[in-house]
Amino acid sequence: MIHGDLVRVKLTDPDPRGRTSGIILEFDTYKSTGPVTPIAEVHWCTGARSWIAIDRIELINVVQEIDELALSLADTF
């Protein structure tokens, strides 16, 4: 992932909070009592900005998703 990438919270995430998509603004790390966690600041489609662990988000490949949608629609006709 790089700055400007379009991402979403993974579908398996237990706490998506309506964050369906957003753009990566910054990267950093978070250190608590456990190991260092890579995090990203994301500007979400809700207008909010927040930090989230990188392992909780995934890239949105718009072209691939449109192709998959087109194929699934073609199968219905």
In words, the CATH class of domain 6-75 is: mainly beta
> How large is the average pLDDT for residues 40-53?
95
**Residue 25 contacts residue 3 (beta carbons within 8 Å):** yes
Q: Write down the domain spans for the chain.
A: 6-75
pLDDT > 90? residue 54: yes
Compute the mean pLDDT over every residue in the chain, rounded to the nearest whole number: 88
So what's the pLDDT on residue 32?
85
Q: What is the percent of the chain where pLDDT is above 90? A: 62
Tens of pLDDT, residues 12-37: 999 888 888 999 999 999 998 889 99
**How far apart, in whole angstroms, are the C-alpha atoms of residue 36 and residue 45?**
27
Tokens read off for 37: 């966690």
